[in-house]
A = this chain, B = another copy of it.
């Protein structure tokens, strides 16, 4: 069986002991083991800062952009093999795998595009300069420079490719080296990606390190210029935020955690119109893509009371048509959850949500999965729960069941009530609103914006080019307030902020013009 080693301090190193076992979630067969016991994380962090950081900071944005482009090309050249790993270790369908792997190479390419435009600069100016004295001779300008640390990228099991690549794109372009720590359960894909990049010699020494497995005492060795970018459960996110060394040294921490994302159908729509069709199609897809294991998946579906019965039945029919089974088979539309623990959690969560309503389709029971023998695999049926009293329910606004599971609920058709229900989720990554009425959408934006990192508007005019609310795009912010962790990733160049120090510089305007790079 394969042993996944870590790539730290410039070489591949195996941890001690038996290690954790990675399995195929369809067959439950072991695929690989991984351990980081005994690795010297203090040395790894120092190696990143000293070698990788120095090399990256010596480069211009244009040169760093070229690195990202080379990373994207190297990985894309192995696309089919990477998709196979996503299927084997992640339980992904080929389409799910593309969402992850192409998401990774696409985001790297998008940041390469942004960085190329910045050309020869090493520092960025932020905003316009400002006159500070009696005359414009005394001047102020904000600048953004690379932090002189390492970025530790702690990723969730559900996106072993995109999860680290979207963070690394921002960090490396900013000039900050990365240490990638995938979730152990799906580390195979991440491991292979880093292996490819090392084999191809794409990056300078120390710019990209890999911790295949537990983080050991890595966080204890971080210092004031380092960064932790975490995606995962709210509980782990809180532990990281409360970590004594990170607080003591003022290490920058970004958290993306749970999120009870909503999809809202506006009132008064033609059931056969483009907007209603878009809503149904996208909600069914957001529930079942990657077996619902997306932090941006729809968990709460808000439908005007008058439309509830019809929409519920249409959506149930769409979910029942989804073929569940071995994701390596072409007819299968949805694979299993990723681990036995995830399966147990999802079943338990379905029971809890159903306790406040009723199961319309699906449920916690074992699934007769296509192409799978002997009851193996961590399968859950696409599950729709109906909750007719969401204003007096708590679990539906609190419990994120990380699987193909959502709750449909009525609202009175006003933006006020829709926003009130969304707010009960205490902060979300994304809410989607489907409607064509300008005043309804306008009011909804005002009510939803403080509680969401992203608002996705589906309407007639864009029904043919909408990308789905679950896709985190390179040019839009990814991250939500409150329960969602309060983080911010991506969003074009503002995605680099986490890895940059913002500094105000004040002095003689003529001097500033000579020592700071030109704006354009």
The residues of B that contact A138 with a CB separation of less than 8 Å are 462, 465-467
The reply to whether A503 and B467 form a contact with Cβ atoms under 8 Å apart is no
Interface size class of A (residues with CB under 8 A): 35 or more
A473 interface hit (Cβ, 8 Å): yes
Complex CA–CA separation, A142 to B488 (angstroms): 12
- A462-B137, A511-B438 are contacts. A485–B250 as well, Cβ < 8 Å? yes
A491 interface hit (Cβ, 8 Å): yes
8 Å CB interface, A470-509 against B: 473, 475-477, 481-486, 488, 491-492, 494, 501-508
Indicate the member of A130, A466, A503, A515 with the most B CB atoms within 10 Å.
Answer: A503
A35 interface hit (Cβ, 8 Å): no
- A247-B242, A514-B442 are contacts. A504–B140 as well, Cβ < 8 Å? no
The residues of B that contact A244 with a CB separation of less than 8 Å are 242
The reply to whether B130 and A515 form a contact with Cβ atoms under 8 Å apart is no
A216 interface hit (Cβ, 8 Å): no
The reply to whether A132 and B475 form a contact with Cβ atoms under 8 Å apart is yes
Complex CA–CA separation, A122 to B445 (angstroms): 12
Complex CA–CA separation, A505 to B466 (angstroms): 13
CB closest residue in chain B, given A244? B242
The reply to whether A143 and B250 form a contact with Cβ atoms under 8 Å apart is no
The residues of B that contact A127 with a CB separation of less than 8 Å are 492, 494
Complex CA–CA separation, A510 to B441 (angstroms): 12
Per-residue B-contact encoding for A5-48, CB less than 8 Å = 1, 0 else: 00000000000000000000000000000000000000000000
Per-residue B-contact encoding for A429-459, CB less than 8 Å = 1, 0 else: 0000000101001100110111111111111
Copies in the complex: 2
A160 interface hit (Cβ, 8 Å): no
The reply to whether A486 and B252 form a contact with Cβ atoms under 8 Å apart is yes
8 Å CB interface, A131-148 against B: 132-135, 137-138, 140, 142-143, 145-148
Per-residue B-contact encoding for A407-445, CB less than 8 Å = 1, 0 else: 000000000000000010011000000001010011001
- A224-B481, A465-B134 are contacts. A491–B456 as well, Cβ < 8 Å? no
The residues of B that contact A488 with a CB separation of less than 8 Å are 502
The reply to whether B438 and A515 form a contact with Cβ atoms under 8 Å apart is yes
The reply to whether B438 and A504 form a contact with Cβ atoms under 8 Å apart is no
CB closest residue in chain B, given A457? B507
The reply to whether B508 and A457 form a contact with Cβ atoms under 8 Å apart is yes
A241 interface hit (Cβ, 8 Å): yes
The residues of B that contact A456 with a CB separation of less than 8 Å are 506-507
The residues of B that contact A465 with a CB separation of less than 8 Å are 133-135, 137-138
B130, B423, B483, B505: the one contacting A250 at CB < 8 Å is B483
The reply to whether A482 and B224 form a contact with Cβ atoms under 8 Å apart is yes
Closest 6 CB pairs of A and B: A457-B507, A224-B482, A476-B504, A442-B515, A133-B465, A461-B508
Residues of A within 8 A of B (CB): 122-123, 127, 130, 132-135, 137-138, 140, 142-143, 145-148, 223-225, 238, 241-242, 244, 247-250, 252, 423, 426-427, 436, 438, 441-442, 445-446, 448-459, 461-462, 465-467, 473, 475-477, 481-486, 488, 491-492, 494, 501-508, 510-512, 514-516
Q: 18 other contacts beyond A250-B482, A441-B515, A477-B503, with CB at 8 A cut-off?
A: A132-B467, A132-B475, A224-B481, A224-B482, A225-B427, A238-B248, A249-B482, A250-B426, A250-B483, A250-B485, A449-B501, A449-B505, A453-B504, A454-B503, A454-B505, A456-B507, A457-B505, A457-B507
Q: Provide 26 A-B residue pairs closer than 8 Å at the C-beta atoms, listed in order of the A residue.
A: A123-B446, A127-B492, A127-B494, A130-B492, A133-B462, A138-B462, A140-B475, A223-B426, A224-B481, A238-B247, A242-B242, A242-B244, A436-B511, A438-B511, A445-B516, A449-B501, A451-B501, A454-B505, A455-B506, A457-B507, A458-B507, A459-B508, A459-B511, A461-B508, A461-B511, A476-B504
